[in-house]
Amino acid sequence: MAKILMKGNEALSEAAIRAGLKAFYGYPITPQNEVPAYMAEHLPLRGGVYLQAESEVSAINMVYGAAGAGVRVMTSSSSPGISLKQEGISYIAAAQLPCVIVNVVRNGPGLGGIQPAQGDYFQAVKGGGHGDYRLIVLAPGNVQEMADLTTLGFDLADKWRNPVMILSDGILGQMMEPVVFSEDGAVSEVDKPWATNGAAGRERNIVNSLDIIPDKAEKNMLRLLEKYDQIKAEEVRWQEHNTEDADVILVGYGTSARVARSAMELARKEGLKVGLFRPITLWPFPEQRLAELAKAGRSFLAVEMSAGQMIEDVRLAVNGVSPVHLSNRLGGMVPTPEDVLEKVREILEGRVS
């Protein structure tokens, strides 16, 4: 169980290969380029296929084909490239194909920049493509989690026959931290009797998202929604620190949660009762636990590297019981713990509405 110093993007890639990845289809875009480079270097030597597609659109459709053929498959990209993949992601969700999609988020909209941001939250957790569907969205908070949540992502994708998105960002992808990989080597793959891998000795299988008969389509949708309800009941994950006595609970995921944690530590040194709530699954969102934490006299402060997107889910969860404020930076700027702490002081001193 040796510790290895790795970039987040590399740790994620290594974990995927260890999870039994059989194919990676990608297209270059910053700041996720370490992922395809790692895959090109290692995957073909370890029993998988690496292919650079002609576009993000093609890459996600290659994922559709390989996922439909029953193997563990993934793609990675960054914000503008993820926008291009949305058509394919909608089809994959509708056809109920398991796969992992990595978004190493950069700032947007448009071409934006290549600096870390969290502006793709809505796109990841509210849909992104057309139609009623959900992705399971996992938000790593350090390099170890870039690896661990990738492993979990493949397991959840197979378990629920659903696409999983790893919502990372440019900092988590590029920074180096020690990481430990489990050495048991067990790959928990499930049987896929629905896969299209040749109808030898069985009825043919069809991978499809088309349904033009409305009453049948509605029944299929209700089955899909039932699956989403089960996922909401079983797969919510989060971490919390110092929430019991907190007057202000900071809520943040990914890089923002790291900043928020530092802010919480500074605050506690000053005797301010500040806690931290870190969603790990962004969908399903840990709304029930946030609702339990909401009470009169307690405030929430969403820390985000976006215009304020996750804050909407926090507000839905606390449902008016507690006020919810925002501390954010935009354009690839990263908030500092001092910025967050200043906002905490404003809240505690009643200087915010």
Partner 1 sequence: MKTVFQKPEALTDMPMHYCPGCTHGIIHRLVGEAIDSLAIREQTIGVASVGCSVFAYDYFNCDMQQAAHGRAPAVATGIKRVLPESMVFTYQGDGDLASIGMAEIVHAAARGENITVVFVNNAIYGMTSGQMAPTSLLGQKTATSPRGRTVEEMGYPIKMCELLATLEGPAYLARVSTHDSRHVLQAGKAIKKAFEIQQQKKGFAMVEVLSTCSVNWGMTPVKALGWLEENMIPYYPLGVYRDVTAKEGN
* Per-residue contact flags (x/-) with partner 1 for residues 314 to 353, judged by CB under 8 A: ----------------------------------------
| 286 forms part of the interface with partner 1 (CB under 8 A) | no
* Sole window of 3-11, 47-55, 117-125, 256-264 interacting with partner 1 (rule: CB under 8 A): 47-55
Angle ∠(308,309,310) on CA atoms, nearest 5: 110
Residue 68 binds to partner 1 (criterion: CB under 8 A): yes
Question: Which residue in 4, 37, 40, 53 binds partner 1 (CB under 8 A)?
Answer: 53
| Cβ(102)–Cβ(85) below 8 Å | no
Could you tell me the smallest distance in angstroms from the CB atom of residue 298 to partner 1?
A: 47
User: Which range, of 50-58, 132-140, 167-175, 286-294, touches partner 1 by CB under 8 A?
Assistant: 50-58
Tokens of 324: 């919810």
Residue 58 touches partner 1, criterion: CB under 8 A: yes
Task: Confirm or reject binding of residue 61 to partner 1 (CB under 8 A).
Answer: yes
Query: Total binding residues for partner 1 by CB under 8 A?
Result: 39
- Residue 55's identity, in one-letter code, is S
The answer to whether the beta carbons of residues 127 and 191 sit under 8 Å apart is no
User: Nearest distance from residue 270's CB to partner 1, in Å?
Assistant: 55
- Output 21 or 314, the one with its CB closest to partner 1: 21
Q: CA 313 to CA 124: how far, in whole Å? A: 13
**Residue 244: count of CB within 10 angstroms of its CB:** 9
Interface residue with partner 1, options 27, 38, 91, 160 (CB under 8 A): 91
Strand 238-241's sheet: what is its strand order?
238-241, 274-279, 248-251, 299-304, 324-328
33 binds partner 1 (CB under 8 A): no
Cβ distance to partner 1 smaller for residue 206 or 307: 206
- Tell which one of 2, 210, 213, 296 touches partner 1 (CB under 8 A): 210
Q: Is the peptide bond before 323 cis (omega within 30 degrees of 0)?
A: no
The answer to whether the bond into 284 is cis (omega within 30° of 0) is: yes
Distance of alpha carbon 236 from alpha carbon 137, whole angstroms: 10
Give, in degrees to the nearest 5, the angle at Cα 125 between 93 and 310: 180
User: What count of Cα atoms within 13 Å lies in the side-chain half-sphere of residue 206?
Assistant: 4
Nearer to partner 1, 69 or 316 (CB): 69
Residues at the interface with partner 1 (CB under 8 A): 22-23, 25, 49, 51, 53-55, 57-59, 61-69, 71, 73, 87-88, 91, 95, 196-201, 204-210
